[in-house]
C-alpha cells in the first residue's frame, strides 16, 4: 500500500471495536497489520449485518468495516508452541497491540517486559477500560468496560442530552473510537521515538481517560472552579444562537459564535434592525435572552425547508442541515470527498461500502484498499516471512497450533 506507515509491522491481538479501530487506522495508512486470532476466530466475526447471498459467513459488516487492509493468522496462544510462534513474530515486529484486561498477557507469559527483551525496539500498546497498572493502577482496573461504561464514567453522558432530562449516550461508540484514535497517535509517536533511539516503550490508553480528555471544556471548567458543565441540549452554553432549529422537513444547525454573524443572520431573516439592537447585538446580551433569541430564529426557520434555508444561509453564516447517514452518503460533499469506498466481500458476489479514512495525505494517501481477511487467510505467508519452513508450518498445522 502507498501509505506513510508502509514500513511498520503491527501484531494485532485486539478484539471488538476499540483495538481493531486503532489498528484499522494504522492499516489505512499502509502499516502491515497482522491480525492474530485464536483458533475460534475473533468473536466480532459473528456480528452483522450480513449480505443476503453470503452463505459462507466469514464475517459481517461490523468486522469488515474495521478490519479492512489487514492480514489474518491463527495462533493458539494458550499452547507453548503457539507462544513460541508469536515470540518469533515479535522479533521482527514494530508494534504489538492488545485490548485484553490487565494481566491477561502476563499470565500467558507474553508480557511487555518479556517481549521487550526479545525486541528492545518494540512498541507495546494497550487499550483497556481503566488503564494498565504500569502507568497508574486504577481501583477499577479489573472491571470490564465497553463503550457505554466509558461514556458514563468518563463524563460525556452527563453533558449530553436535554437540559431537563436523563443523561444521554452519544450515538456512535466514542468510548471505543476516541480511545482508538488516541492509541493510534501514541503508537505512531512511539514508533518514531523507537526508530530514532532504538528504544521501544509501553503505550497505555484507558477508555475512561480518553473520554475525559474529549470533554476538555468540562474538565477545564471544573479546573477553573466554574463547576460542572451540565447538559445544554442542542445549544451552546457560551454562544447564542448556536444550536439546532426546526424546519418544515427536519432540523438545521445554525451558529453565531461572533457578533458579525448575528448581524448577517438578522439581515438574512429580513430583520436587520435586531442585528444592531442593544438587546441582541452582543453575545452576552443574547445569552441573557437565550430563549427569546432562539425563539426568534426558530420562528423563522420553522416555515422553510432545509433546501430553502441552505440557499439562504449556506456559505454566509455557519449553517448545515441535520443529516442522517443516507443524506450524507448521497450528498455532493460525499461524492467530492469519496466518503464511502467499495470493497469485495468473501462469500458474496456483491461489493459493499464502508467509510473511507478521514485522513487525507497528498504523497502517501493510503485508504481502504482490501477487504477484511478470512480467519487465518494469511497464516502460511506470515509464517514463511518469519522464517518458518514449509515442514515447520505443516507440523504446526497438524498440532493445531496455527490455522
Q: Domain-by-domain residue ranges, the chain?
A: 9-214+338-398, 242-323
pLDDT band at 226 (very low <50, low <70, confident <90, very high): confident
Percent of the chain with pLDDT over 70: 100
In the chain, % helix, strand, coil (3-state, to 5) comes to 40, 15, 45
Fold for 9-214+338-398, please state it. Rossmann fold (3.40.50)
Percent of the chain with pLDDT over 90: 93
Q: By the 8 A CB rule, do 26 and 8 touch? A: yes
Is the pLDDT higher at 227 or at 195? 195
Comparing CA positions, the residue from 65, 94, 99 lying closest to residue 357 is 65
Give the pLDDT score at 217: 81
* CA 397-399-403 angle, 5° bins: 35
Rounded alpha-carbon distances, angstroms, from residue 364 to 23, 125, 335, 355, 357: 18, 24, 21, 19, 13
pLDDT band at 129 (very low <50, low <70, confident <90, very high): very high
pLDDT band at 336 (very low <50, low <70, confident <90, very high): very high
CATH pick for 242-323 out of 3.40.640.10, 1.25.50.10, 3.30.1540.10, 3.40.50.720: 3.30.1540.10
Q: How many residues in the chain?
A: 403
Query: What is the distance between the alpha carbons of residues 376 and 400, in angstroms, rounded to a whole number?
Result: 12
Q: By the 8 A CB rule, do 362 and 371 touch? A: no
Comparing CA positions, the residue from 26, 17, 18, 123 lying closest to residue 70 is 26
Q: By the 8 A CB rule, do 86 and 75 touch? A: yes
Catalytic residues: 176
**3-state SS, residue 352:** strand
Q: What DSSP state is assigned to residue 370?
A: S
Please give the average per-residue pLDDT across 216-242, as a whole number: 87
DSSP string, 23-50: HHHHHHTT-EEEEEE-TT--GGGG-S--
Query: What is the distance between the alpha carbons of residues 33 and 372, in angstroms, rounded to a whole number?
Result: 11
pLDDT 10s digits, 12-54: 999 999 999 999 999 999 999 999 999 999 999 999 999 999 9
**3-state SS, residue 201:** strand
94 φ/ψ sector (left φ>0, alpha ψ -120 to 50, else beta): alpha
Flag the least confident range among 228-237, 346-355, 391-400: 228-237
Q: Which three three-digit cell numbers place residue 338? A: 469519496
Query: What is the distance between the alpha carbons of residues 137 and 134, in angstroms, rounded to a whole number?
Result: 7
pLDDT 10s digits, 277-312: 999 999 999 999 999 999 999 999 999 999 999 999
pLDDT 10s digits, 338-387: 999 999 999 999 999 999 999 999 999 999 999 999 999 999 999 999 99
Query: What is the distance between the alpha carbons of residues 283 and 289, in angstroms, rounded to a whole number?
Result: 10
The structure's pTM equals: 0.95
Q: By the 8 A CB rule, do 250 and 273 touch? A: no
- Chain centroid to Cα 390, Å, comes to 39
**3-state SS, residue 385:** helix
Comparing CA positions, the residue from 157, 210, 154 lying closest to residue 181 is 210
Query: What is the distance between the alpha carbons of residues 218 and 209, in angstroms, rounded to a whole number?
Result: 14
pLDDT band at 222 (very low <50, low <70, confident <90, very high): confident
Give the pLDDT score at 218: 84
pLDDT band at 221 (very low <50, low <70, confident <90, very high): confident
- Decide if pLDDT at 74 tops 70: yes
Rounded alpha-carbon distances, angstroms, from residue 191 to 8, 35, 93, 200, 366: 8, 19, 11, 7, 18
Q: By the 8 A CB rule, do 228 and 221 touch? A: yes
- Whole-number average pLDDT of the chain: 96
Give the pLDDT score at 219: 86
- Decide if pLDDT at 1 tops 80: no
Give the pLDDT score at 165: 86
Amino acid at each position: 500500500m502507498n501509505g506513510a506507515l508502509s514500513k511498520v509491522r503491527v501484531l494485532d491481538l485486539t478484539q471488538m471495536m476499540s483495538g481493531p479501530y486503532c489498528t484499522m487506522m494504522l492499516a489505512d495508512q499502509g502499516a502491515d497489520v497482522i491480525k492474530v486470532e485464536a483458533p475460534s476466530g475473533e468473536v466480532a466475526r459473528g456480528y452483522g449485518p450480513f449480505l443476503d447471498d453470503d452463505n459462507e459467513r466469514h464475517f459481517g459488516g461490523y468486522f469488515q468495516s474495521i478490519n479492512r487492509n489487514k492480514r489474518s493468522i491463527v495462533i493458539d496462544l494458550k499452547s507453548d508452541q503457539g507462544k513460541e510462534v508469536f515470540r518469533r513474530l515479535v522479533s521482527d515486529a514494530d508494534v504489538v497491540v492488545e485490548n485484553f484486561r490487565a494481566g491477561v498477557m502476563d499470565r500467558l507469559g507474553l508480557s511487555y517486559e518479556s517481549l521487550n527483551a526479545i525486541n528492545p525496539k518494540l512498541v507495546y500498546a494497550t487499550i483497556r477500560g481503566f488503564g494498565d497498572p504500569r502507568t497508574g493502577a486504577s481501583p477499577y482496573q479489573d472491571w470490564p468496560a465497553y463503550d457505554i461504561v466509558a461514556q458514563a464514567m468518563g463524563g460525556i453522558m452527563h453533558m449530553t442530552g436535554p437540559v431537563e432530562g436523563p443523561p444521554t449516550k452519544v450515538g456512535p461508540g466514542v468510548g471505543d473510537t476516541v480511545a482508538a484514535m488516541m492509541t493510534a497517535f501514541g503508537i505512531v509517536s512511539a514508533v518514531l521515538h523507537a526508530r530514532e533511539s532504538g528504544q521501544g516503550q509501553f503505550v497505555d490508553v484507558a477508555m475512561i481517560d480518553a473520554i475525559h480528555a474529549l470533554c476538555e471544556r468540562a474538565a477545564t471548567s471544573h479546573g477553573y472552579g466554574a463547576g460542572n458543565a451540565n447538559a445544554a441540549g442542542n445549544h451552546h452554553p457560551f454562544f447564542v444562537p448556536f444550536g439546532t432549529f426546526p424546519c418544515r422537513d427536519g432540523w438545521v444547525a445554525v451558529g453565531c459564535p461572533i457578533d458579525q454573524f448575528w448581524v448577517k443572520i438578522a439581515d438574512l431573516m429580513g430583520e436587520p434592525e435586531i442585528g444592531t439592537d442593544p438587546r441582541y447585538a452582543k453575545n452576552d446580551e443574547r445569552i441573557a435572552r437565550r430563549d427569546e433569541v432562539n425563539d426568534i430564529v426558530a420562528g423563522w426557520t420553522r416555515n422553510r425547508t432545509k433546501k430553502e434555508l441552505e440557499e439562504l444561509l449556506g456559505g454566509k453564516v455557519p449553517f448545515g442541515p441535520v443529516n442522517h447517514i443516507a443524506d450524507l452518503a448521497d450528498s455532493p460533499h460525499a461524492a467530492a470527498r469519496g466518503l464511502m469506498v467499495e470493497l469485495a466481500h468473501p462469500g458474496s458476489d456483491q461489493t459493499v461500502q464502508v467509510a473511507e479514512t478521514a485522513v487525507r495525505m497528498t504523497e502517501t494517501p493510503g485508504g481502504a484498499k482490501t477487504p477484511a481477511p478470512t480467519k487465518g487467510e494469511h497464516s502460511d505467508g506470515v509464517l514463511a516471512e518469519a522464517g518458518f519452513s514449509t515442514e515447520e508450518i505443516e507440523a504446526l498445522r497438524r498440532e493445531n497450533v496455527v490455522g
